[in-house]
Amino acid sequence: MGVPEKRHRTSGNSSRTSTRASSSSTNILLRTHSALDGRLLVTSFRLRGDIKILEINNVYAPVDPKQRAKFFDKLLFHKTQKSHLRLLGGDLNDCPRPEVDRRNQSRRGHHWPILIGKLDSAYTDCIRYKHPSPILHST
């Protein structure tokens, strides 16, 4: 089955939307949307059970601190419903606790508060949930 695609422009950035009505017995892909010059990919699924919609947000934030601050400022998330679950992941080039998660703190700006301010519900850092104390970082 083909996937109908719509192309439109949002805030000066091209975006691409695909919608698929799958007849899977478990989950249905509702929509895939790309925005902010391809740095944000959002995919939504309809699920069975208490969580009706799963929205996966894959973010690739700029490395440069000034560009990253502007990028986080442009991010907009729609209001999360009680029956929805939003996952936010990707390469954010930032972290909630730089003193633990970042080796070269002085070279990078910390813009996590801008990003978290965009979310309308609490978040869980999955790595820190599983490994609360060791220093973990990538180079």
Asked which of 14-18, 37-41, 89-93 is least confident by mean pLDDT, the reply is: 14-18
**The pLDDT of residue 41 is above 90:** yes
- CB-facing half-sphere around the CA of 99: CA atoms within 13 A: 2
CA distances from 75 to 40, 91, 117, 121 (A): 9, 14, 10, 15
Band of residue 136 on the pLDDT scale cut at 50, 70, 90: low
Burial class (CB in 10 A: 0-12, 13-18, 19+), 63: exposed
75 versus 49: which is more confidently predicted? 75
**The pLDDT of residue 134 is above 50:** yes
Q: What is the CA radius of gyration of the chain?
A: 17
Comparing CA positions, the residue from 120, 55, 62, 129 lying closest to residue 89 is 55
Select the highest-mean-pLDDT range: 17-31, 33-47, 96-110. 33-47
By the 8 A CB rule, do 45 and 28 touch?
Answer: yes
CA distance 79 to 119: 8
Q: What is the pLDDT of residues 59-101, one digit of tens each?
A: 999 988 899 889 988 888 877 777 888 888 888 887 766 666 5
CA distances from 114 to 2, 41, 134 (A): 38, 19, 25
